[in-house]
Chain A
Amino acid sequence: MSVTVETHAHDDHGHHHHKETFVTKYIFSQDHKMIAKQYLITGSIMGVIGILMSLIFRMQLAWPEKPNVIFEALLGKWAPGGVMDADIYLALVTIHGTIMVFFVLTAGLSGTFSNLLIPLQIGARDMASGFLNMVSYWLFFLSSVIMVLSLFVEAGPAAAGWTIYPPLSALPMAQGGSGAGMTLWLVSMAIFIASSLLGSLNYIVTVINLRTKGMSMTRLPLTIWAFFVTAIIGTVSFPVLLSAALLLIMDRSFGTSFFLSDIFIQGEVLHYQGGSPVLFEHLFWFLGHPEVYIVLLPALGITSEVIATNSRKPIFGYRAMVASILAIAFLSTIVWGHHMFVSGMNPFLGSVFTFTTLLIAIPSAVKAFNYITTLWKGNLQLNPAMLFSIGLVSTFITGGLTGIILGDSALDINVHDTYFVVAHFHLVMGISALYGMFAGIYHWFPKLFGRMLNKNLGYLHFWVTAISAYGVFFPMHFIGMAGLPRRYYTNTAFPLFDDLADVNVVITIFALIGGVFQLVFIYNFIHSIFYGKKPSQNPWRSNTLEWTTPVKHIHGNWPGEIPTVYRWSYDYSKPGHDEDFVPQNVPLKEGEEELQH
C-alpha cells in the first residue's frame, strides 16, 4: 500500500520533492508533520524537567528541614548538607509553573497538535507558511534553551512566582533570583511570545484559507475549531504580556517607573516614582487568564474528537460545542480581574469581574454535559486515548466546580492564594490539559510516528496517573480552606498548621507515585517509535481526513488529489450505512441527507 502511494507521490507531485538532506528533513524542516514532532519532543523534555521540579518541592513540603540526599545530589550548592535553601524553593515553583504552563501545555500541546492536525484535518498540503512555521519552532527551541540555562546562573533562577509580580521581580536586591535569572526569564519569554504569535497567525490563516473543497466551517472537526479559536485568543492576549515584559525590562534596566513607586529597600530609597504594580497585574492577567483557555481549549478539542470516535457516536450538540468554544473565548478576555480581587483595585471592578467570571460556568457546563451525553448509548471503545479523554472530563468537572468559589469575590477573600487555588487550577487546567495531551499522543501516535503505542502500558499509565492526580489535588482543597498559603517554603513556622503536616505527606506520596509512573509512558513512547506495532491506515476507524493519508509521511500529505469533503466529521453509526463510520470524503448516498447541524 505505502509503496504504491510513494510512486503516486512522484507521479503527481514530483515538484514537491526537492532534494532532502538530513538538515532540511530533521532539523530545519518546513514540513508541518516534522515540526509537530519537534514540538512534541521539545515540549516533552521540558515536561520532564517541570514535573521533576514539582517532585523535588513536594518532598520539601512533606519532609521540611530534613536533610535529603536527593536534594543534595540534584540541587548542589542550593541544598547545603541536603537541606533545601528557601530561595531555590521559590525558584523551583516559579520555573515549574512557567515551564508547565507555557513550554509544555502551550507550545507542547498546541504546537504539536495544531501543526499536525490543522493541515491534515482540513485537507491542506501544509501550513500557509512553512517557513514561518519553522521559524516559530526554532524560536520556541531557543526560548526553551534560554529558560533551561537560566537555572544555572550564579544568583539563582527567577523566583518571583510564575506571575513575576514587580517589585519583587524588578529589584535584584529583593531576591537573588531577580538578577540575571529574571533577565533570562524575560528574554526567554519574549522570544517564546514571538514564537507563539508566528504559530498562531499561521494557524488562523491556514484554517481560513486552505480548507479543501467542501470543508465548510460547519463541517470542521471540533479539534480544528478549538485550535483556530485558541490561536485567535493567543494573538489577542500574548502581545499584552509582551508589552508587560518589555516595560518590566525597562524598569529593571533603564530606570523607568512603569510598575514601581516609593520603594525603600536595604537601607536606601530608590528613585522610582509614580508607577504601580497593579498595572503590571492587569497586563499580566490580560494574558494570564486567556492563557488558561489557550491551554485548555486544544485539550477539549482533542477530547471531542477522541470521545466521538471511540464512542462510535456523533459528538452531541456540535453547534452548541462550537458556540461554547466561542463564548469561552470571548468571556476569557474579560475576566482577568478575578485574579486581583484583593490587589487593591476598586472593589466595584471586583463586582464586574465576579459577574463575567461566573458566566464562564455556563458554556463550560454545556461542554461537560455534551461529553457525557455523547457517551450515552454509545459503543465505547476504551482505548487509552479514550480513558484519558474521560479522565479529562472528570478532572475538568471537579476542578471547574471550585471555580464558582474562587470566582466569587466575597469568597475569594479568604481562599485567595491558598492551596485551594493550587488545587483548583491544577485540576481544571493542569491535569485536564495534560490528559488532553496524553489523549492526543495515544490517539495520533500512529499518525505521528507510523507506529502504535502499547495499549496495556497505556492502561497502566492512565490508571496510576488518574489515581495519583486525585490523590494529590483533592486533599489540597482542604488544606487551602484551612488557610494554608501557597508558596511557603515550609509550614513549620506556624504551629497553627501543624495538624496539616500529615496531609502534605499524603499529597507528596501520591505525587511521587504519579511522577515515577510517567516512566512507563516514556518507555512506551520511545520503545514504540522504533518497535511499535505497525498500524493500518485508519486504526481507530475514524472519519476525519488525516486517516486518508498514507501511514508513511510524504510531502504534501496526499499522494494524489486532495480529497473533497461531503459531510461533517461525526457520521458515526449513521443509520443506512454498513460500517459504523463514514469518512468525510465519502459522498452522500442517494437519498441520504446531511444532518442539519
Chain B
Amino acid sequence: MTVLLTLSIVIFVTIAIWQMVKIFDLSQVGTNNNQIATDKDNKVNGYLMMAFLVFIYAITIYSVVKWGDLPLLSNSASEHGPTIDKLLIVSLIIIFIVQTVTQFLLHYFAYKYRGEKGKKALFYADNNTLEAVWTIIPVIVLAGLIISGLFAWTNIMNPDFEDEDPLIVELYAQQFNWKARYAGADNVLGEANVRLINIDRANILGVDENDPYAQDDVIVSELHLPVNRPVIFKMRSQDVLHSAYMPHFRAQMNCVPGMVTQFAFTPTVTTQEMRENPDIQDKVARINQIRLDNQQDVLDRGQELRYDFDYLLLCNKICGKSHYNMQMKIIVETQDEFDEWMAQQTVFENSLN
C-alpha cells in the first residue's frame, strides 16, 4: 500500500513539474521568440555566471572549513606518512591557487564580454608567446611535483631497513575477513599455498606443515605492531582481489590470488598516544555525540554505543557482498606490550588439530 502511495506521489510530482514547465513554456508563445539568446538573456546569464563563481568559492570555503579539518590528513602514524602529507598539502595549495584564478577568469570573462547588439568581437586568433607561457608554466610546476613525487614513491616502495631487523607479517585476505601471520621467533614465514588448506586440521591459511620455518608462525585476527619497528607486510589472498588499506599509516597494497605482494612501513605512534591526541579526541567526541543522537540505529546494528579510536585495516577493492564490512583492528603498542601479547599466542604447530 505504501509503495503504491509513494509511487503515485512520485508520479504526481513528475506530472506537476511537467505541467509547470509547460505553462512556463506556453507563456512565451507569441512573444516572437526565435529561441536565440537576446541581449537580455546575455545580461541575465552573465550576472548568473558571476553568481556561480561566488557559489564555487563559497562551496570551496564551506567544504574546507566544515570538512577540511581531517585528522586523517594531519595525523599520520607512520614514518613515511609526513612525506606524503606534505606533498599532498603542497599539491592542494597549487590546485587551490590555479582553481581560484582560472575559475575567476572563465566566469568573469563570461560576464564581462557578454554579447550586445552592435558590439564586435576582437579578431584574435593566435599568440605564440602566450601559448608558450602556459605550456612552460605547467611544465615547471609539474616537473617539481613529479620529481618530489618520484623520490617519495621510490623511498616508500623500496625501504632500506638493513640494520633495523624488520618484523615480517603476512596479511591474508579472504571473503570477508583478514588474518595476520607472524613469522615467529625465526622471523621467517613458512611456505604457504591455498592448496595446502586443510580445514579439518584447522590449517586455514594453507601453511606448509612440513616447513620447519612454519612451526613457530603465529596466526591471529587482530594485528598488533610494536612501535618504531619497521614492518614488512607480505600480502596474500585466497579467493578474489582485496586491498589492504591502512589509511592512518598512508599504506595500501592489493592482495592478489596467486602472488605475494608487499608493502612496508614503520608505525611511529601507539594507539594509546593517538587516543590522547587532541585532534583525535575532538573527532572521537564528535562521533560519539552523533552516535548518541542516533542511539537506536547504532544499537540496531548491534554495535557498541561508545566509539574509541583504533587503527584499522580496511578492504578497499570490491570483493563481494560484505566488502563494506571487511576490517581488522590494528593495535600499535610498545615493544614490551607487544612481546607480552605475542607470548600469549599459540604457535602454528600447536594450533593444528
Binding site for B on A (CB under 8 A): 65, 69-70, 72-73, 86-87, 90, 160-161, 165-168, 171, 174-176, 260-265, 267, 269, 274-278, 311-320, 342-344, 347, 350-351, 354-355, 358-359, 361-362, 365-366, 368-373, 375-383, 386-387, 390, 393-394, 397-398, 401-402, 404-405, 408-411, 413-414, 416-418, 452-457, 459-460, 463, 466-467, 470-471, 474-475, 477-479, 481-483, 485, 487-496, 498-501, 503, 516, 519-520, 523-524, 527, 532-533, 535-536, 539-540, 570, 572-575, 580, 595, 597
- Which of chain B's residues has its CB closest to A476's CB? B63
B contact residues around A493 at 8 Å (CB): 324-325, 327
Q: A160-B318, A410-B153 are in contact. Are A342 and B253 (CB under 8 A)?
A: yes
How far is it, in angstroms, between the C-alpha of A570 and the C-alpha of B123 when the chains are bound? 10
A contact residues around B135 at 8 Å (CB): 362, 365-366
B contact residues around A467 at 8 Å (CB): 52, 55
- Which of chain A's residues has its CB closest to B114's CB? A380
- Asked whether A488 lies within 8 Å of B287 as measured between CB atoms, the reply is no
Q: A358-B146, A382-B115 are in contact. Are A459 and B45 (CB under 8 A)?
A: yes
- Asked whether A351 lies within 8 Å of B124 as measured between CB atoms, the reply is no
Q: Which of B72, B92, B125 contacts A316 (CB 8 A)?
A: B125
New A-B contacts (15) at CB < 8 Å, excluding given A276-B258, A408-B149, A524-B25: A69-B5, A265-B239, A319-B126, A354-B146, A359-B142, A387-B45, A390-B107, A394-B107, A409-B150, A416-B316, A460-B24, A470-B56, A491-B324, A519-B17, A573-B120
How far is it, in angstroms, between the C-alpha of A380 and the C-alpha of B257 when the chains are bound? 57
A contact residues around B319 at 8 Å (CB): 168
Within 8 A of A (CB), among B307-324: 307, 312, 314-324
How far is it, in angstroms, between the C-alpha of A276 and the C-alpha of B152 when the chains are bound? 28
Tell me whether B210 is interfacial, beta carbon within 8 Å: no
Tell me whether B194 is interfacial, beta carbon within 8 Å: yes
Task: List 7 interface pairs A-B (beta carbons < 8 Å), by A numbering.
Answer: A265-B240, A311-B121, A313-B122, A318-B125, A350-B157, A416-B243, A417-B316
Q: How far is the CB of B261 from chain A (nearest CB, A)?
A: 4
- Asked whether B110 lies within 8 Å of A390 as measured between CB atoms, the reply is yes
How far is it, in angstroms, between the C-alpha of A21 and the C-alpha of B268 when the chains are bound? 77
- Asked whether B37 lies within 8 Å of A393 as measured between CB atoms, the reply is no
A contact residues around B303 at 8 Å (CB): 495
Tell me whether B59 is interfacial, beta carbon within 8 Å: yes
Binding site for A on B (CB under 8 A): 2-3, 5-7, 10, 13-14, 17-18, 21-22, 24-25, 28, 33-37, 41-42, 44-46, 48-49, 52, 55-56, 59-60, 63, 67-68, 70, 72-73, 83-84, 87-88, 91-92, 94-95, 98-99, 102-103, 105-107, 109-110, 113-116, 119-127, 130-131, 134-135, 138-139, 142, 145-146, 149-150, 152-154, 156-158, 175, 193-195, 197, 199, 206, 235, 238-241, 243, 245, 247, 250-254, 256-259, 261, 283, 286-287, 290-291, 297, 300-301, 303, 307, 312, 314-325, 327
- Asked whether A365 lies within 8 Å of B138 as measured between CB atoms, the reply is yes
- Asked whether B113 lies within 8 Å of A377 as measured between CB atoms, the reply is yes
Q: A344-B261, A378-B122, A380-B115 are in contact. Are A533 and B317 (CB under 8 A)?
A: no
How far is it, in angstroms, between the C-alpha of A224 and the C-alpha of B116 when the chains are bound? 30
- Which of chain A's residues has its CB closest to B322's CB? A86
Q: How far is the CB of A486 from chain B (nearest CB, A)?
A: 8
- Asked whether A65 lies within 8 Å of B301 as measured between CB atoms, the reply is yes
- Asked whether B113 lies within 8 Å of A376 as measured between CB atoms, the reply is yes
B contact residues around A70 at 8 Å (CB): 6, 10
How far is it, in angstroms, between the C-alpha of A375 and the C-alpha of B103 when the chains are bound? 13
- Which of chain A's residues has its CB closest to B48's CB? A463
- Asked whether A405 lies within 8 Å of B91 as measured between CB atoms, the reply is yes
- Which of chain A's residues has its CB closest to B235's CB? A344
How far is it, in angstroms, between the C-alpha of A81 and the C-alpha of B278 when the chains are bound? 43
How far is it, in angstroms, between the C-alpha of A189 and the C-alpha of B245 when the chains are bound? 31
How far is it, in angstroms, between the C-alpha of A354 and the C-alpha of B148 when the chains are bound? 11
Q: A73-B3, A379-B113, A463-B48 are in contact. Are A276 and B149 (CB under 8 A)?
A: no
How far is it, in angstroms, between the C-alpha of A262 and the C-alpha of B13 when the chains are bound? 54
B contact residues around A86 at 8 Å (CB): 321-322, 324
Q: A168-B320, A343-B254, A479-B67 are in contact. Are A383 and B239 (CB under 8 A)?
A: no
- Asked whether B73 lies within 8 Å of A394 as measured between CB atoms, the reply is no
B contact residues around A342 at 8 Å (CB): 243, 252-254
- Asked whether A393 lies within 8 Å of B258 as measured between CB atoms, the reply is no
- Asked whether B103 lies within 8 Å of A394 as measured between CB atoms, the reply is yes
Q: How far is the CB of A242 from chain B (nearest CB, A)?
A: 22
How far is it, in angstroms, between the C-alpha of A463 and the C-alpha of B110 when the chains are bound? 14
Q: A344-B261, A394-B103, A455-B41 are in contact. Are A499 and B290 (CB under 8 A)?
A: yes
- Asked whether A470 lies within 8 Å of B59 as measured between CB atoms, the reply is yes
Q: Which of A314, A404, A417 contacts B142 (CB 8 A)?
A: A404
- Asked whether A455 lies within 8 Å of B37 as measured between CB atoms, the reply is yes
- Asked whether A262 lies within 8 Å of B193 as measured between CB atoms, the reply is yes
Minimum-distance CB pairs A-B, first 9? A261-B258, A483-B247, A347-B157, A344-B261, A410-B152, A452-B35, A493-B325, A264-B194, A488-B324
Q: How far is the CB of B51 from chain A (nearest CB, A)?
A: 9
A contact residues around B105 at 8 Å (CB): 372
- Asked whether A344 lies within 8 Å of B254 as measured between CB atoms, the reply is yes
A contact residues around B120 at 8 Å (CB): 312, 379, 573, 580
B contact residues around A404 at 8 Å (CB): 91, 94-95, 142, 145
- Asked whether A344 lies within 8 Å of B327 as measured between CB atoms, the reply is no
B contact residues around A176 at 8 Å (CB): 321
- Asked whether B87 lies within 8 Å of A408 as measured between CB atoms, the reply is yes
- Asked whether A474 lies within 8 Å of B153 as measured between CB atoms, the reply is no
- Asked whether A417 lies within 8 Å of B317 as measured between CB atoms, the reply is yes
Q: A347-B153, A523-B18, A540-B36 are in contact. Are A65 and B300 (CB under 8 A)?
A: yes
